[in-house]
Amino acid sequence: MIDGVYQVTGVGIVVAGTMKAGKVTPNTTLLLGPDKTGKFNPVVVRTIHHKRTPVEEAVSGQAVCFGIKTVDKKL
């Protein structure tokens, strides 16, 4: 569940929220959406932070921030 989306200088787009299920590591491709048209867009997780600390894995139940980059440069 996404709680916030931020533009951070030197990092780019950061998405914050609570992991509902699964496991995510850096370089994982996720689908972010839906956008205004109902489409889900692929993004790549560059960095993960949990409790303001960089981590190599996020798991279900954690409140985390993902530094992401879009796969489609048009977004």
* Domain 2-70 class, CATH top level: mainly beta
pLDDT tens for 2-61 read 999 999 999 899 999 999 999 999 999 999 999 899 999 999 999 999 999 999 999 999
Query: Which of 67, 66, 65, 5 has its CA nearest to residue 35?
Result: 5
Enumerate the domain spans of the chain.
Answer: 2-70
Question: What is residue 75's predicted lDDT score, i.e. its pLDDT?
Answer: 54
